[in-house]
């Protein structure tokens, strides 16, 4: 994560190939990739998903570390404000629809 702590159980996916899960130390291994460039996606609950393009060369181990940022968390008051906004928008739409239907 952003503090440098490992994230256990993060999903590491190589597009078009396999996926794996990080261990308790935040490590992962993907074996058998042919030479080439790959899109790697790392995700974990409570964190923003990270993407990176990775080049795999012949006879080399490619080490790629990811830093996942904590996902934005909303407070209950923010959820209430959002719900209130949605309700108001629906009421306005219903009033406009009713007005349109009542015009001869």
CB atoms < 10 A from the CB of 103, how many?
5
CATH number for the domain that contains residue 20 = 2.60.40.1120
Is residue 66 located within the same domain as residue 38? yes
Is residue 58 located within the same domain as residue 94? no
* Residue-wise pLDDT tens digits, 24-45: 999 999 988 899 999 999 999 9
Is residue 59 located within the same domain as residue 95? no
Residue 19 neighbours by CB under 8 Å, 6+ apart: 11, 12, 13
Is residue 65 located within the same domain as residue 78? no
Is residue 10 located within the same domain as residue 20? yes
Length of the chain: 104
Is residue 68 located within the same domain as residue 79? no
Number of domains in the chain: 2
pLDDT at 74: 67
Q: Rounded to an integer, what distance in angstroms lies between the CA atom of residue 18 and that of residue 27?
A: 16
Is residue 44 located within the same domain as residue 2? yes
pLDDT at 61: 86
Is residue 14 located within the same domain as residue 53? yes
* Residue-wise pLDDT tens digits, 55-103: 998 888 888 899 999 887 767 777 788 888 999 899 988 888 887 776 6
Is residue 52 located within the same domain as residue 94? no
28 or 18, which is more confident: 28
Please give the residue range of the domain that contains residue 90: 74-103
pLDDT at 102: 65
């Amino acid at each position: 994560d952003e503090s440098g702590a490992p994230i256990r159980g993060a999903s590491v996916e190589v597009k078009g190939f396999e996926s794996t899960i990080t261990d308790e130390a935040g490590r992962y291994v993907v074996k058998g990739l042919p030479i080439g460039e790959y899109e790697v996606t790392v995700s974990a609950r409570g964190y923003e998903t990270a993407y990176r393009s990775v080049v795999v060369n012949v006879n080399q181990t490619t080490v790629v570390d990811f830093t996942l940022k904590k996902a934005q968390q909303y407070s209950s008051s923010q959820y209430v404000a959002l719900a209130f906004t949605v309700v108001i928008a629906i009421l306005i739409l219903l009033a406009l629809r009713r007005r349109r239907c009542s015009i001869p």
